[in-house]
Structure 1
Amino acid sequence: MAGQRAASAVRSLPARVAGRLPVPSLALGDLRDGLVGALAQEAGQRRLFPWLAVAFGAGILVELTATDGPPMLVAPLSAAVLAVATSFALRARPVALALMLALAAAFLGFAAAAYRVASVASPVLARTMIAPLTGLVEALDEREQGARLVVKVIAFGTLEEVGRPTRVRVSYRKAQAIKPGDRISAVARLLPPPEAARPGGYDFARDAYFRGIGAVGSLTGRIDVIAPTGPLPWRLRLAAAIDDARNALTRRITDANGGQAGAVAAALVTGKRGLISPQTNDVLRAAGIYHVVTMMRVCRHLHTTWLEYPGPGATA
């Protein structure tokens, strides 16, 4: 009898425990009440306004990751105007007003991202080519051997302007007296910007697209510095002067500290990473601090983007 009572008690244990524990409800009414309560709490603490930035960023994320084809501008702008107009009619209903303003911010973020994609659009090289390249040096990163250049293309082989990259990133191994602002001519081997090596990995092609770079490669043979045929555009002159000053500061810091310590110190100040050796890069990555150097380079790009890439329809 005792064994039967024990077995019965064990069998009834789950039912008794379930009856004493609260069971979460996933009803739509509860979700709605929770959302309203959360919005009311945010509104009571005057914290709704910062959420507009979150909605704006969500719109940007949708445009950059979930859309394909030509960027859309008219549709999201029209939807944003409609959402703002609707918010005036709903100003007596705080929750609906907040949601409508968030929707308007999301559409505006979508439109801003679409405008940015359209403003930096430029031809991308379709295949590997070896041909004479003529262009203006916009930026120069010195390396242990040679340098890496960003060149605004004037001519490349027989390509017409429609299919010719606007900018290319090239490297060369021989040390030559080249500085930002020079007009150069050399034989270049160019190929399309490489895409991500694995899903979710670093996508250089995306980064190159937003910097207006349509090809990467190297210069072979002799590099000739050609006398300019006229004054350089003021944007290029200013960008070249800033980049030249950063290179001079990089050399000064490197020479003062010496070795790889000087190269890392210079990269932290100017964002120029070319003098850091591959071995030092591996050490920085293993230590988990390589992102510090990378962020300095990103900040430099943000500071000079408006000088180097003026946008759609703009003239340098």
Structure 2
Amino acid sequence: MATRAAVIVPIVDDPGDVALQQHWRKAWSLSSLAGGADAWLDRAGFDRAPWLATALAGGIVAWFALPSPIAWIVAMAGCILLASATVALTRPGDDYVHLRRAVVAVALLISAGIALVWIRSVVIGAEPIARPQVIWLEGKVLERENQPAQQRVRLTLAYRDAEAGLARKVRVNVAPDDLDPGIAEGAHVRLRARLMPPAPPMAPGAYNFARAAWFAGLSATGTAIGPVQLIGSATPGGTLARRATHLVRPRALAARRLRRRHRRGICQRRPWRNLGRGR
């Protein structure tokens, strides 16, 4: 009958023992991985710049992904602590110089991305109205957008909310028949409108119009009720505005000529399409 020999566990530190060499193999693999990364960063040179932009964009994405300001602060603090610890552990003549610099730069840029979009949200973001309302508003036309396909004209207005004591920016859709042709950007108007707060996404992962309106500075959107009254016409711009108009006008003329040539080309090609229909 065969017998199995007992496994002998060595007590002394034998350099030739396989069990004792396993730990050193792992440490060697980790050091080789770090050395390979440092060598790759050294060879990359200026190709490392896109990774810095990616780190900044990652911080911006993290701001949108994290749920609350506390999470934003924790993420920023963690990145700053990681960069500080990396700098504190660096010694003169130490290996992996490029790897340590990359860790510091990426951590700081992620933190900067979170801070950048947070500051932009505070500075540009507009607080939405509390509830749907029908009000009379008097303000200045910031932008006029003609939408003939939808049979409407979209006006972006700036007005003073007396109840909240805030200057608000709203977007109102107006029927073409209710709008004076003389109303342009810069005109002062008065109208009655039905305003709604920007709508949140209808389903998880859907388009978040409330977030887009926040960064666009829109407090509400709605529809005009009745005609829009023109109080004051738009004042002509100064020297800079006139120069901008002179610069834009040649571009508009060139675009119009290109559209005409394109239409002529289509009209000339149409007879070739109808050759087979007469058979």
TM-score by shorter chain over 0.5: yes
The structural deviation recorded for 1:184 is 0.9
CA RMSD after TM alignment: 4.3
The structural deviation recorded for 1:190 is 0.4
Q: Note if contact 1:84-1:101 (Cα within 8 Å) is conserved in structure 2.
A: no
Q: Note if contact 1:147-1:171 (Cα within 8 Å) is conserved in structure 2.
A: yes
SS in 2 for 1:45: helix
Aligned to 1:120: 124
* 2:196 alignment partner AA: L
Q: Note if contact 1:148-1:170 (Cα within 8 Å) is conserved in structure 2.
A: yes
Q: How does 1:158-237 map to 2 (within 5 A)?
A: 159-162=163-166, 166-174=168-176, 175-177=179-181, 178-227=183-232
SS in 1 for 2:48: coil
Relative to structure 1, is the Cα distance of residues 218 and 231 closer, same or farther in structure 2, using a 3 angstrom cutoff? Answer: same
Q: How does 1:86-105 map to 2 (within 5 A)?
A: 87=87, 90=90, 92=94, 93-94=96-97, 95-105=99-109
Unaligned runs of 5+ in 2: 1-25, 264-279
* 1:38 alignment partner AA: A
Aligned to 1:65: 65
Relative to structure 1, is the Cα distance of residues 77 and 112 closer, same or farther in structure 2, using a 3 angstrom cutoff? Answer: farther
Aligned to 1:43: 42
Q: Note if contact 2:187-2:235 (Cα within 8 Å) is conserved in structure 1.
A: no
Relative to structure 1, is the Cα distance of residues 139 and 118 closer, same or farther in structure 2, using a 3 angstrom cutoff? Answer: same
Identity of aligned residues (%): 25
Aligned to 1:106: 110
Q: Note if contact 1:87-1:100 (Cα within 8 Å) is conserved in structure 2.
A: yes
Give the structure-2-normalised TM-score.
Answer: 0.64
The structural deviation recorded for 1:97 is 2.4
Give the structure-1-normalised TM-score.
Answer: 0.57
Relative to structure 1, is the Cα distance of residues 242 and 219 closer, same or farther in structure 2, using a 3 angstrom cutoff? Answer: farther
> How many aligned residue pairs are there?
224
The structural deviation recorded for 1:189 is 0.3
Which of 137, 152, 157 aligns to 2:141? It is 137
Distance in 2 between residues matched to 1:154 and 1:248, nearest whole Å: 38
Distance in 1 between residues matched to 2:200 and 2:28, nearest whole Å: 46
SS in 2 for 1:207: helix
The structural deviation recorded for 1:104 is 1.1
Write out per-residue CA displacement over residues 227-263 of structure 1, whole angstroms, 9 at most, x where no aligned residue. 27x98999xx989x979x98998799679848xx8xx
SS in 1 for 2:206: coil
Larger radius of gyration: 2
The structural deviation recorded for 1:66 is 0.7
Q: Note if contact 1:171-1:217 (Cα within 8 Å) is conserved in structure 2.
A: yes
Q: Note if contact 1:73-1:111 (Cα within 8 Å) is conserved in structure 2.
A: no
